[in-house]
Amino acid sequence: MSNDVSDVVFNRDAFLANFEGMEELVTQVIESFEENYPSLLARVKNAIDSSDMGELQISAHTLKGVVSNFYAEHCRLLAFELEKMGKEKEATRALNVFDKLSKEAGRLSVALRSVKL
Amino acid sequence: MHNKRIIVVDDSDFDRGLLVKALSKKTEATILDANSGERCLEVIAGNAPDLILLDIMMPGLSGLETLSKIRERFTRIQVPVLMVTSKVDASDVVECLKAGANDYITKPVCFDVAVSRIQLHLDLVNVAKEVSAIREAAAAEAVVSTFHFEINSLLSAAIATLESPDLNNPDVKEGLKSALWKIADVLKSINAVQGPSLSKCKEVADGIKLLQLGDASF
């Protein structure tokens, strides 16, 4: 296991192990994340702002699925928390959690830059 | 997986794109994709795929609803469906398996596991088809054995009539002639059965039953 700081944000070894034999995809996947995560976050934020609980559940679920590909556990758990809020239609703390998620996704994006092959 | 068609159904462009790319790299299958349950149903309406990877949580038609629609047209053996889900959705998985899913894989998708599961289910389909063909062949063989028995009975009766003192009786003679022709017709029908076609065998077997009834007075 590497002790790189990025391991705090995501599990680098687990992520790379999944791409064994198709390393050329690693850079593509990271670039796709960098390109797409702001709009995924915006979708979650819009759902919170408009109190659309169904959309909050789906959009947070989508973001959770995306970050889980990088084994970014903290980020995944925050997205999951928002997904549950949407499902349970109880979003009083949603903005607070969203802020944490937004920061964590940013950290993930920065950490992933060190992995590009 | 050469010549196999697999559809990846997921509303997340990122997850769907990643799975399509990984499976395209790791298998020789043709990987198609659909961004919704509705689109999946459109794609399979034209041409049944060999396997479907179906995300459970999607807006519009959910994975479960899409699965139910798929199962209205295709059995588990005709088109295996593997649900794709996050690891916390255990109750959803159980519901999908009850509704006709063959299996599930969890997100984050481990591509090697996904490929192994896909291969396993494609192999199971082949085995199921082979077992079905063997059963049908065995059933056909049983029907053919019955034919042999019935024909032998008719022939024995016909031969016995040849030795009858009443052979000069025109009615008996005509009856014998008719029975021999019917036997010849049955033999022709049996020869016409190409391969283990159970329905054709049953058709012929029904013919033999009619022949027996017709010859009851003979």
Query: In angstroms, what separates the C-alpha of A87 from chain B's closest C-alpha?
Result: 12
Closest B-chain CA to A55: B59
Contacts of B8 in chain A (CB under 8 A): none
| B199 vs B205: CA distance, rounded Å | 10
Closest partner CB to A61 (pick from B13, B18, B57): B57
Residues of B engaging A, defined by a Cβ cutoff of 8 Å: 11-15, 17-18, 21-22, 25-26, 57-59, 86, 88, 107-112
Please indicate if any CB of chain B lies within 8 Å of the CB of A36.
yes
Is pLDDT of B193 > 70? Answer: no
Q: What is the pLDDT of residue A2?
A: 46
Q: What is the pLDDT of residue B202?
A: 59
pLDDT confidence of A6, banded at 50, 70, 90? Answer: very low
Please indicate if any CB of chain B lies within 8 Å of the CB of A27.
no
Percentage of chain A lying above the pLDDT 90 cut? 86
Query: In angstroms, what separates the C-alpha of A111 from chain B's closest C-alpha?
Result: 19
| A69 vs A57: CA distance, rounded Å | 19
Q: What is the pLDDT of residue A73?
A: 93
**Mean pLDDT value across chain A:** 91
Which range is least confidently modeled, A27-41, B31-45, B103-117, B158-172?
B158-172
- DSSP assignment string, chain B: -TT-EEEEE-S-HHHHHHHHHHHHHH-SSEEEEESSHHHHHHHHHHS--SEEEEES--SSS-HHHHHHHHHHH--TTTS-EEEEEETT-HHHHHHHHHTT--EEEEESP-HHHHHHHHHHHHHHHHHHHHHHHHHHHHHHHHHHHHHHHHHHHHHHHHHHHHT-GGGGSHHHHHHHHHHHHHHHHHHHHHHH--SS-HHHHHHHHHHHHHHHHHTTT-
pLDDT confidence of B77, banded at 50, 70, 90? Answer: very high
Q: What is the pLDDT of residue B1?
A: 78
**Mean pLDDT value across chain B:** 85
pTM for this entry: 0.77
| pLDDT one-digit tens code per residue, B83-96 | 998 866 788 889 99
Is B18 in contact with A69 (Cβ distance < 8 A)? Answer: yes
Instruction: Tell me the average pLDDT across A47-61.
Output: 96
Q: In angstroms, what CA-CA distances link A48 with A94, A101, A104? A: 7, 13, 18
Is pLDDT of B153 > 50? Answer: yes
Is pLDDT of B122 > 60? Answer: yes
Please indicate if any CB of chain B lies within 8 Å of the CB of A98.
no
Q: What is the ipTM of this complex?
A: 0.88
Is A71 in contact with B108 (Cβ distance < 8 A)? Answer: yes
